[in-house]
A and B are shown apart, each in its own frame.
Chain A
């Protein structure tokens, strides 16, 4: 190949040194990145490889549609619940089931709790170590760290003694030689720019956030019994409300339960406002160049299916708190309508994926989706006896399909949602985005970058924490009006269903647009397909050679030391990859093999 221009306008050059990162860590699932560098160590070609394949869709065939949520929820335990939500929406769509207002509100509360939790954990535990040098924190002055903390936030853990204790804890860990998860990190790398005090503050919050995140998900546990993987229900929610009468203390939802939820939501909002957002802005201010690197598709093509219906059974943009729309070719002023049912809009392609279609050049809408495994390596694959050294991206090279919207490769996720909501005139989103950009002295277009993606996620977490409290108030208001219903069982029994029907369930996962498409025949699942956020973002090339969001975002990024792929991790982590989600598709068994008995 050497030098080419892709069908979506990116320059690729694979003539330079090839660098491999496998496994990409601090993500969900298994993925690999290969890049080619030019003589100045700038990335000129990027290859995103999904390396796992679990096969859930055929497992669903023939099962009871009411059970599907539990199966597909196991696609991902990080964005836990969102696949279940998309699934019950798909079944309700297929069977024309209307859910009660309270069920809609409770689903919103559970889902908003996931948004806040997922974003917080992503920032501190999956992404922060790309920006924060743990070892440098040892050189910080606890007093100066306390002053820094007090200057950016009213958060209570702000004394010199507190930071001295945290520093001591890190010192003992580093001094012991047993660094645990910090072992072999890129400490001292020249791409780390934070002063020691900012590093110490961030490490303190890494630990605090690790301890606090377990509180947030208790909201899901109240309504769904457990987290990860809470319980859901086609037709509503399983938790019945009994606020007023005898037996209330035995009911799933009563005054005590809602007070618990409200208490957690209040503390969550404070944590986001006083810890996450100040840290995000402080860290971002030290990395201005990362508001330039990592744009990729962001400034061109963005997609959101919309989320959080204000009104039950109404997924129009008038009802959705975050709108459904697409932006293409960088025309921010035009928000295109998105229709998940239209066979011409969303299609998946497989010429570079380890799957086969009757005609690989054609795309298929998910209702007609086929997922048949076809694992084979291209002629230019480099292999040693031990392992595959380099994949061949001119052939099939990933367990991820290439989804396209009206033929366009799209980016999806918090950045897409925030920009689309901003352009749609969402007042609160505008305030949050404008406020943050003003503090950083940056224009809106700065969002189209690695740090912009990371910032959008934080601002969305703040928005979600606020909405969480509003939805709880709404639940109380509905109950006060005399409505305690949480489930509609009119069509619970399969005998009430049509012989053949199909439905689609939309959702926005923390990582982006998620769709489930179901066909039901004779009360059983006839076909089930999911197109998930990371399938969009980590997409391989398509029939036209268009590259996906990860591959595009890596182009032009300089590496200080090709042996230490910190910059690649920054770009990829800014998308918050979820590979178990992206690569759950399936084909027939590849045949019997030797069982690997050890010894």
Chain B
């Protein structure tokens, strides 16, 4: 195997000065919350590592994850693909096809055993001997097993890979099975969402490259840095929820004022994702801003938690039912008191559970999240 240029080499080749490079490292270290010595380790990592090979497989899926990845503005998908990683296999964009494509898998497994990343978009259907997804005349399952066995780590892109998504909605006819249920020993990172936010996808890759380690994961194997806050808690319309100002019908006066979509079925209160903070398409918008509630697309089993326009049934926060229809009657003082009471309530609850400051939302928490 010949010597591979490092990320640093590639930047130098692209005309980036060393001064700019170190500035970039410092900025990156700060951005990722490291102290002053962090910049040096970032620089060292980037100077000494060849570009990591990435094999990107597609199982049962719709390719929305690939499309989302291409939307990344920072870093640009073109920079990731051409300069940061070596995307040696991705059937959606690769030049080679057929035998020439499949050969690459064998070459990478041979040359980079234990040192490549496997990215999987989609899941593995197990029904019918796996023959609901046939690649190269064999069940996709085989291809997945061969490449997974020798991977350094596996990134499960999107809800298809992390929990089966729409194929796994009842009655899950193909027995679409999430990636992490099929793997032992090789670490798996779940990056859910239908699709995940572009900058979350490229953020996960950047993190692994910068630090040569996986980001810290929660119990559902999601990176905590992107999936530990509820959409509802960061929603720019949250004040309207607290004030009892709701959209009651599509295109009503509340909709034209940008009020809360809880009564239209918004799943923000039970969804852990970064839509409300990072936003979509370089923060152009996100579903609530477009006037439609969140459908909870990054949560396990969200397809079977419908109908989507039915309000969350167990949402028992401060006086919604009493006050939603009597907004005008609520005085400012009473409102402030109620919000404080609610916040106090949630803090108390977290402390009792012993999770404050280090919450690891689990599927259980999701169900209870509506009450916290």
- Residues in B with CB closer than 8 Å to A185 are 94-96, 100
Separation of A210 and B51 alpha carbons in the complex (Å): 21
Nearest chain A CB to B92 CB, angstrom units: 7
The answer to whether A239 and B194 touch across the interface, beta carbons within 8 angstroms, is no
A399 to B184, CA, bound (A): 32
- Contact pattern, A 526-565, Cβ under 8 Å of B = 1, otherwise 0: 0000000000000000000000000000000000000111
For A134, list chain B residues within 8 Å (CB): 95
Partner of A231, one of B5, B99, B138, B290: B290
Is B129 in contact with A593, judged by CB distance below 8 angstroms?
Answer: yes
Q: Which residue of B is nearest A63, CB measured?
A: B306
B132 touching A52, Cβ below 8 Å: yes
Chain A residues 155-202 with CB under 8 Å of chain B are 165, 168-169, 172-173, 176-186
Q: In the bound complex, do residue A596 and residue B137 qualify as a contact, i.e. CB atoms below 8 Å apart?
A: no
Give CA–CA (A126, B2) in the complex, Å: 30
Q: Given A229-B195, A389-B137, does the pair A247, B174 have CB atoms closer than 8 Å?
A: no
Q: Which of B17-25, B38-46, B75-83, B360-368 is found at the contact surface with chain A?
A: B75-83
Q: Does A77 contact B (CB under 8 A)?
A: yes
Q: Tell me if A218 counts as interface (CB < 8 A to partner B).
A: yes
Q: A222's contact among B88, B96, B258, B285, by CB below 8 Å, is which?
A: B285
Interface residues of A, dominant DSSP? loop
A431 interface contact, C-beta 8 A: no
The answer to whether B337 has its CB under 8 Å from any CB of chain A is: no
Residue B348 CB within 8 A of the other chain: no
Q: A326 to nearest B CB, angstroms?
A: 29
Q: B98 contacts which chain A residues (CB < 8 A)?
A: 20-25, 565
- Among residues of B, the one whose C-beta sits closest to the C-beta of A175 is B5
A421 within 8 A of partner (CB) = no
Contact A260 B292 (CB under 8 A): no
- For window 15-63 of A, CB contacts with B under 8 Å fall at 20-30, 32, 51-56, 58-59, 63
B182 pairs with A227, CB closer than 8 A: no
User: Closest chain B residue to A381 by CB distance?
Assistant: B137
Give the contacts of B60-102 with A (CB-CB under 8 A). 60-68, 70-73, 76-78, 81-82, 85-102
Q: How far is the CA of A250 from the CA of B309 in the complex (A)?
A: 22
Would you call B145 an interface residue if the criterion is a C-beta within 8 Å of the partner chain's C-beta atoms? yes
A58 to B282, CA, bound (A): 36
The reply to whether B133 and A53 contact each other, CB–CB distance below 8 Å, is yes
Minimal beta-carbon separation of B137 from chain A (angstroms):
4
Q: Please name all residues of chain B whose beta carbon is closer than 8 Å to the beta carbon of A58 when the two chains form the complex.
A: 171, 173
Decide if B63 touches A169 in the complex (CB within 8 Å).
Answer: no
Does B286 count as interface, using CB distance less than 8 angstroms?
Answer: yes
Query: Contacts A181-B94, A225-B285, A260-B284: A487 and B250 contacting too (C-beta < 8 A)?
Result: yes
Report whether B256 and A241 are in contact in the complex, using a CB–CB cutoff of 8 Å: yes
Given A23-B98, A64-B306, A77-B195, A51 contacting B103 (CB threshold 8 A): no
Known: A23-B135, A184-B96, A596-B182. A590 touches B129 (CB 8 A): yes
The answer to the question of A336 belonging to the interface, with a C-beta cut-off of 8 Å to chain B, is no
Verify if A287 is at the interface (C-beta below 8 Å from B). Answer: no
Q: How many residues of A contact B (CB 8 A)?
A: 116
Contact at B291–A172, with CB atoms within 8 Å? no
User: For the complex, what is the distance from the CA of A598 to the CA of B5, rounded to whole Å?
Assistant: 33
Whole-angstrom distance between the alpha carbons of A32 and B58 in the complex? 15
Q: Is the interface of B mostly helix, strand, loop or mixed?
A: mixed
Verify if B316 is at the interface (C-beta below 8 Å from A): no
> Which of under 10, 10 to 19, 20 to 34, or 35 or more describes the interface residues of B?
35 or more
Beyond A387-B138, A489-B250, whether A74 also contacts B194 by CB under 8 A is: yes
Write the nearest CB–CB distance from A442 to chain B, whole angstroms.
28
A30 touches B126 (CB 8 A): no
Closest beta carbon of chain B to A23's beta carbon, Å = 5
Chain B positions 31 through 62: 1 when the CB is less than 8 Å from some CB of chain A, otherwise 0: 00000000000000000001101000010111
- Chain B 293-307 interface residues, beta-carbon cutoff 8 Å to A: 295, 297, 303, 306-307
Which residues of A lie under 8 Å from residue B94 when comparing CB positions? 25-26, 181-185
CB distance A214 to B136 under 8 Å? Answer: no
CB distance from B173 to the nearest CB of A (A): 4
Tell me the nearest residue of chain B to A485, going by C-beta. B251
Contact A236 to B287, CB < 8 A, known contacts A67-B309, A77-B64, A180-B82 = no
Nearest neighbor of B310 in chain A, beta-carbon distance: A64
A207 close to chain B: CB less than 8 A? yes
Which chain A residues lie closer than 8 Å to B103 at the CB level? 184
Query: Is A1 an interface position by the 8 A CB rule?
Result: no
Q: B166 in the interface, Cβ–Cβ < 8 Å? A: yes
- Chain B 151-176 interface mask (CB, 8 Å, partner A; 1/0): 00000000000000111011111111
B residues whose Cβ falls under 8 Å from a Cβ of A: 2, 4-5, 9-10, 13-15, 50-51, 53, 58, 60-68, 70-73, 76-78, 81-82, 85-104, 124-138, 140-141, 145, 148-149, 165-167, 169-177, 181-186, 194-195, 198, 249-251, 255-258, 275, 280-282, 284-292, 295, 297, 303, 306-309
Q: Nearest 7 A-B pairs (CB), nearest first?
A: A77-B64, A590-B128, A250-B258, A185-B95, A225-B290, A225-B287, A387-B137
Q: Can you list 15 contacts pairing A with B, beta carbon distance less than 8 Å? A: A20-B98, A77-B64, A77-B65, A129-B95, A178-B86, A183-B94, A214-B71, A225-B280, A226-B281, A226-B287, A238-B290, A251-B257, A492-B249, A596-B126, A598-B183
